[in-house]
Amino acid sequence: MPDARSPIRHHLVLYRRDPEQGRARFFSLMIERDLFGTIRLVRNWGFVGAKGRKRSTSTLMRRQLHRR
């Protein structure tokens, strides 16, 4: 059962493994709320076992882009 206090609402992790080339990659999507209640989409990607890259987009930023 999910914790009601958790900021993470939904989490999806995808893996791609290529044994012939010895590579394994991951891609992760999380929908969460920050301390101010703003909804954010957080994306992580990279090689399995490495830190990878991270990018987040908030609903506030999206609203500002639509106004332009």
Domain residue extents for the chain: 8-67
pLDDT in the model for residue 1: 45
Kindly state the average pLDDT of the residues 32-48.
87
Whole-structure pTM value = 0.67
In the predicted structure, residue 26 carries a pLDDT above the cut 90? yes
For every residue of 26-57, DSSP letters joined together read EEEEEEEE-TTS-EEEEEEEEETTS--EEEEE
pLDDT in the model for residue 67: 58
Q: Tell me the per-residue pLDDT of 42-57, one tens digit each, with 9 for 90 and over.
A: 999 999 988 899 998 8
Task: Give the three-state DSSP class for 61.
Answer: helix
Kindly state the average pLDDT of the residues 27-52.
88
